[in-house]
Amino acid sequence: MEVSFSPLGDTAVVIEVADAITPKAKSDVQILSACLDLNSPEWMLEYVPAYTSVTVFYDPLKITRNNTLPYEIVCKEIRKMCNTLKGYEDPVSRTIKIPVCYGGTFGPDLDFVAKHNGLSNQDVIDIHTSGEYTVYMIGFAPGFPFLGGMSERIATPRRESPRLSIPERSVGIAGMQTGVYPIETPGGWQLIGRTPIRLFQAENKIPSLLRAGDNVVFFSINQKEYLNWKE
């Protein structure tokens, strides 16, 4: 696997597998993650997979070194791991359906997204619900899925300044990405709707409903269905 390294401060390294979001990048990230799980070097605190990168956080004190700085050794050891990677099959993907109540107070930026793309609000909803999405990573907030596969026709840049508070379960768009806010948090995404289902369940062993590799489909529900939704 072709990878490049760069530091994220003095205790982490970003391993990049590609510079664009592609199915190959997604599969490389999953392979690398599986490999880190398997080898789990003593100096590794944890790793964070993303669209095109895996970031490894490490404890510099646990690295045996002879007058070499920790970063160099970490890179060398990870490179060694990458060179030994053999065939790996993507696990079978699950498909998860997520109901969304679009627009109104639930989606205050639906108008903006429509206007920005020269569409009607209904067009945005139709395009958003017709997509088949893949979970590239979970991040930013507990259980927050970053989804690939959104149509370019509804792509909209992030807000100029992030909102200080976004209600939990809001569905948003940022650039070419779409996702759902599992808990109340600040954020810069354009909000187009809200789902009644919980994506973060702290009581579960794996606290996130969605996992990297899952397929996701959105479908539109009205306000009444939203209010009466039962998980």
Question: Which residues contact other proteins (rule: CB under 8 A)?
Answer: 6-12, 14, 20-21, 33, 45-53, 55, 57, 60-61, 69-71, 137-144, 146, 157-158, 160-162, 164, 174-177, 182-186, 188, 200, 202, 206-208, 212
State in angstroms the smallest separation of the CB of 223 from other proteins: 26
CB 86, min distance to other proteins, A = 23
Contact at 8 Å (CB) between 78 and 70? no
- Rounded Cα distance between 195 and 106, Å, is 9
Using the minimum distance from each CB to other proteins, give the nearer residue, 48 or 126: 48
Cβ proximity to other proteins: between 82 and 220 the closer is 82
Element (H, E) at 7: strand 4-7
Identity of the residue, 65 or 115, whose beta carbon is nearer to other proteins in the bound complex: 65
Cα–Cα distance, 53 to 58 (Å, whole number): 16
Q: Select 216 or 221, whichever has its Cβ closest to other proteins.
A: 216
Closest to other proteins by CB, 91 or 104: 91
Cβ-based nearer residue to other proteins, 201 or 220: 201
Distance CA 154, CA 177 (A): 10
Q: Are 125 and 107 in contact (CB under 8 A)?
A: no
In the complex, the smallest distance separating the C-beta of residue 211 from other proteins, rounded to whole angstroms, is: 8
CB of 60 vs other proteins, minimal distance in Å: 6
Residue 79 phi/psi, 5-degree rounding, is -60, -40
Q: For residue 49, what are its two tokens?
A: 């997979």
3-state secondary structure 137-206: EECCCCCCEEEECCCHHHCECCCCCCEEEECCCEEEEEECEEEECCCCEEECCEEEEECCCCCECCCCCC
What is the nearest approach in angstroms of other proteins to the Cβ of residue 58? 11
d(CA 98, CA 78): 37
In the complex, the smallest distance separating the C-beta of residue 135 from other proteins, rounded to whole angstroms, is 11
